[in-house]
Chains A and B, each alone.
Chain A
């Protein structure tokens, strides 16, 4: 997740990892293995062994 290896419980979803990594749910986008996971699918998308999850938000940038 975001470039680090995390051990997760079986059944963990994208919504779970978003909640754990960000205090805010707005202004967040998630990519799973370089594909977008739409917000509406966060709770139904499981995180599986070896998945690369990117949780992204706004940063200062030109």
Chain B
């Protein structure tokens, strides 16, 4: 499904024109959408812009607080968009928008059983990530920081542990504030990054889309290249032998 390692979250986009620009600049091949009541006054269709850019639609269950709501929303999204893929969100708190782990796992089990390809938005907890994969999830999407906060990856160590804990792709979701955050996610071994607000609410959304895309590419290359180990003291990079006696 992933032609690009940057998934675009469309939340917060100011217009369909801007959406078109950031889709092109981001190079994303997958973009998320929410399911909401039709607006009879709406001009233009979000879906048409996504399809015109050849982007796969990844519906989410944003706004759901129980497993039952999320399962019904996912099923409606499958009906509307003809896809089995769902970014499963089951929120436990209105202020921090953190996932409710119990309801999330319950919904994931039910949707996997029903043939969905489930990508759960989850905490950065490797134990929960493993349970979600055992339930049959196709990927896990741990948060770097609360949705829309732009705080970056608050606990890189936890994200590394999630990457080690599961044998499915890990997609860093939520918390990205700028390109370097996306690079860090990829350096930690994430398979992809989802960015929404970081791009859609930037002063120049298309420029930020390009920057985050490059950050993802840079981080992926660095991850594959293998970084040097961290050490406490200096290790000279110039030869220590052959020094002139200049004293």
Would B9 and A24 count as touching, CB distance under 8 A?
no
The answer, yes or no, to whether A58 is at the interface (CB within 8 Å) is yes
Q: Using Cβ atoms and an 8 Å threshold, which residues of chain B touch A11? A: none
Partner of B81, one of A22, A27, A36, A59: A27
Query: Number of residues in B with C-beta < 8 Å to the partner?
Result: 36
Partner of B80, one of A3, A21, A57: A57
Total A-B pairs, Cβ < 8 A? 95
B114 to chain A, nearest CB (A): 12
Interface string of A36-61 (1 = CB under 8 A from B): 10110000000000000011111111
Q: Using Cβ atoms and an 8 Å threshold, which residues of chain A touch B32? A: 61-62
Q: Using Cβ atoms and an 8 Å threshold, which residues of chain B touch A39? A: 79
CB closest residue in chain A, given B173:
A62
Question: How many of chain A's residues touch chain B, expressed as a range?
Answer: 20 to 34
Q: Using Cβ atoms and an 8 Å threshold, which residues of chain A touch B88? A: none
Q: Using Cβ atoms and an 8 Å threshold, which residues of chain A touch B196? A: 62
Partner of A59, one of B35, B75, B76: B35
Q: Using Cβ atoms and an 8 Å threshold, which residues of chain B touch A60? A: 10-13, 19, 33-34, 46, 200
Partner of B35, one of A2, A3, A22, A29: A29
Q: Nearest 8 CB-CB pairs, A to B?
A: A61-B34, A62-B11, A29-B80, A62-B9, A59-B36, A62-B196, A29-B76, A58-B33
